[in-house]
Amino acid sequence: MNRIVLFLATNLAVVAVLSVVLNVLGLNRPGSNMTSLLVMAMVMGMGGSLISLLLSKTMALRSTGAQVITNAQNQTEQWLVATVRRQADRLGIGMPDVAVFSSSSPNAFATGAKRDSALVAVSSGLLDRMSQDEVEAVLGHEMSHVANGDMVTLTLIQGVLNTFVMVFASILASVFDRGNGRDGGRGMGYYLGYMLAQTVLGFLASLIVFWFSRHREFRADAGGADLAGRQKMIAALERLQIESEPKALPTTLAAFGISGDGGWAKLFMTHPPLAERIAALRASH
C-alpha cells in the first residue's frame, strides 16, 4: 500500500503548473513547431512525475505522520527492523528506513526514489491486529514492491502519459480555437478546450496507472510469499478480509499498499479484490 493517490495528486499539481509555463512560453500555440511542443511536453510531463518520485518519502512521512525507527525502543521495533533487514539481504537491496504510523486499520506501504534508499512503513493497527507471521508476509509484499522497482516504473509510465496528455490536449484545443484570438493568436476557446481536454485525457490516463498498480500487486504478493512463505501471505490477505476494508491511506499512498477489495468500481481501484489475490496465490502451486 503506497501512495498512488498522493503520487497522482502531487504529479497532477506539478504538471498543472508546468502546463501554465508551457502556455506562457507559447510552445503549445496552434501551428507551433510540433517537435518543439513534443520535446517540451516530454520534459515537463516527465518532470512532474520525477518531482513526485523525489518527494515521495517526504510526502509519505508527512501525510501519515509515520515515525522512522532510528533506535528500536522495544521488542516489536527490534523485530520489525531485523525482519526488514533480513528480507533486504535476501533481495539484494539496501536497507530501507522502517517506520510506524498511527492508525487503527491494518495497513502498510513502501515508497522511495531508489531501491537502496526506500521507506517501508506499517500501521499500529497492523501490528496490533495481525500475527507476527502475517506481518512478516506484509513486509515481504512491500519489500517486493521496492525490489521490483515499482515506484520507478510507475513514474516512467506516468511521465509518458503526462507527455501524451499535454500534446493531445494542445492539438484538440486548437480545434476549439483556430486562431480566433486577437491578431490571430489564441482565443478563449483554446484555453477552455485545453483545460477540458487535459482533464478528460488526464482522467483516462489515471485508469492506466490504476491498472498498472493492480497488476503489480499480484507480483508483490508472489514476492511476499517467496520471502515469508505462501501460507503466511495467504493468511495475511485473509486477515484483511476478516478485518474488512482498512481505512484509506492518503491519496498518494494507496497504490503500493496491502489493502484492496472488489466492487463495480474496479477500474478505479489501485488493488485487485482480495479474493482474486488469494486465489492467485493458491493457484501458484
**CA dist., res. 185 & res. 270, Å (int):** 42
- Which residue out of 77, 134, 136, 142 is catalytically annotated? 142
Dist CA 13 CA 186 (whole Å) = 24
CA dist., res. 111 & res. 57, Å (int): 6
Contacts of 27 (CB under 8 A, 6+ apart): 36, 37, 40
Q: Exposed, middle or buried, 219 (CB in 10 Å: 0-12/13-18/19+)?
A: middle
Task: Give the end-to-end CA distance of the chain in Å, rounded to a whole number.
Answer: 25
Residue 142 a catalytic site member? yes
Contacts of 85 (CB under 8 A, 6+ apart): 95
Q: What are the residues whose beta carbons fall under 8 Å from the beta carbon of 196, sequence distance 6 or more?
A: none
The single residue listed with the C-alpha cell 515481504 is 140
Beta bridge partners of residue 101, listed in sequence order: 123
Kindly give, in sequence order, each residue whose CB lies less than 8 Å from that of residue 187, ignoring residues fewer than 6 positions away: 177, 179, 180, 181
| Catalytic residue IDs | 142
